[in-house]
Amino acid sequence: MVVAAADGVPLASFSKYLGETTNNVAEYRGLVAALEYALEHHHRRLKIISDSELLVRQMQGRYKVKSADLKPLHEEARRLVAGLGAVTLEHVRREANREADRLVNEALDAAGGGSAPAAPAETAGALRALATYRQGVLRPHRQLPLTEGEDVEIEIRRRN
């Protein structure tokens, strides 16, 4: 899942291995995570873009939720939406949703194809940012949504 500002600048991205489940359950869990992030960070106006037609149409009330696995997730998502100001949902083709698709593949790769357990809830949200190293200090290119004194784990990869 990718969270971006209105101007398209990425704010956060999340990926988490969920074990063996359906793509529809995974889509709903991603939606719930996005809505929880929005509430926690006081974002009240959201535009959710998903390549899951089923999720978008069910959340819009255009399709019924028939799956017993999806009903509790749908109810949780509706409850979270009710706590926000304005939420719109838009369906796009998978090709238009490449960053989210990349995160799914990254989570699957990190799990080694299903052998690793899901990450704990407190580490489920991964924040990605570019930074430049100068004079012994790593400086992010943008303000990060962190609180003063928050401990973070950093993985550094060189860009080519």
Residue-range domain boundaries for the chain? 2-128
Q: pLDDT digits over 116-155, tens only?
A: 333 333 334 566 777 888 888 888 877 777 777 778 878 7
How much of the chain, in percent, has pLDDT values that exceed 70?
Answer: 74
Strands 131-134 and 45-50: unpaired
Helix (H) or strand (E) holding 138: strand 137-140
Q: Phi then psi for 136, rounded to 5 degrees?
A: 80, 5
Report the mean per-residue pLDDT for the chain: 77
pLDDT at 118: 36
50 forms beta bridges with 91
Of 33, 54, 41, 149, the C-alpha closest to 100 is 33
Whether residue 10 contacts residue 121, with contact meaning beta carbons closer than 8 Å, is answered with no
Q: Which CATH class is domain 2-128?
A: alpha beta
pLDDT digits (tens, 9 = 90+) for 60-72: 999 999 999 999 9
More confident residue, 41 or 5: 41
Strand partners, 3: 12
118 closest CA partner among 56, 25, 37: 25
